[in-house]
Structure 1
Amino acid sequence: MKFLPISFLILALATATAFAYDPSPLQDICVATKDPNSAVFVNGQFCMDPMQATADDFVFMGFRNPGNTANPLGSKVTPATVMEFPGLNTLGISMARLDFAPGGLNPPHTHPRGTELLVVVEGTLLVGFVTSNQLNNTFFSKVLYPGDVFVFPIGLIHFQLNTGKTPALAFSALSSQNPGVITIANSVFGAKPPISADVLTKAFQVDKKVVDYLQAQFWYDNN
């Protein structure tokens, strides 16, 4: 864990100098609350009276313990978005802890509202993203080691795979308080109600039996 202080310093410096994707706040703090009484609705959340805020509203302890990687993907993402960390509301930033078992995968997904900056703390990760049709779906990929940082541009499909023989750990910062996650396989083949097989057979140019098989699978969510 010797790289942990360095990783947080890198993330802090990078996000402090970047422009947030979310609208800039017009007040110092706007801690999200589920109680709409005497509250103001801002950025999709109700904000408590700032005079009632305490230090506890600005601390998140969910990164203290490793995520459970005993699942079909061998990975666990522990998010710290406004949904889990109310003090982030209106601040245009969030984070995540990513734990990987050997061979663990954070499957291809996108963040529709945020760019992601990832730093490896332990282990070895193969990462990559694919550009849009406009840039001919170009694939960029790199093997990362402890201390390495990689950026995934907003909205582009990307992944992380532990290629080492030991567990891996990474942290990411995202340029939105609620960047969202769309896991490609889950969304396409696990949609409820299901997407028409006629659409998917033509889109993927495969036999209907293949589509039926994929739609019948259990698509695990590691978030």
Structure 2
Amino acid sequence: MEYSIIWTLFFIGCAFIFFSYGKKIRKYQKIRKEQQIQYEDNREKYRHFTSELFDETPDEEMTHAVLFHIMGKEDKIFESDEIGNLIDVLTHSELLIYTIYQVELSLEGGRGSLHTFFIKEPYCTYRPYVKEAFEAVDCHEIAELMVAADKLATAIENDEEIDIDDGSDYGNYNFSDFTNALASALKTSGILLKAAKFIREHKDEFIDAEDKEENDE
């Protein structure tokens, strides 16, 4: 009898766990589906970034809107018969915002290393612009961090002895240290709103060309 009760309780417990787990899975799948739909909607919405749409976009969504617009430019390259690179069709201000995005992507959501940005395509394509990019959005401490990380990456590339600069905040950092410091700085810097401010100040470099012409008229 005890044996029967034990196994009955066991199966009841398994059924409860399965039901709870299945419920969480379905909830997660629903959220993922909604996020995917929202992603595709935004990608289409900002493919053409008009002056009117620019003005309607709130600051907290502005940086993402610009990134979706840049993705639209990338799509046009793939859809055309001409061979080209994304970096060749970006305005300078778009290039700076996209550089910051590439830095964040290289961290792989906290699972990667900042060293990846300096050595792996496509991230390293934007390496020459990284200092200017963070300075443009008033993140000067991050710009300083990236300059120091760039020096370490260069020393590793050239198989040079790494000089420890005791006068620098990053003098004895390795890339694990740089990665953690950057992840922390990005969380506290308010970079989304700072980037939005920069974007609004350079509106003509983010909206579609035909809208620029209308504004000039």
Task: Provide TM-score, normalisation by structure 2.
Answer: 0.26
Q: Over alpha carbons, which structure has the higher Rg? A: 2
Larger proportion of strand = 1
Task: Provide TM-score, normalisation by structure 1.
Answer: 0.25
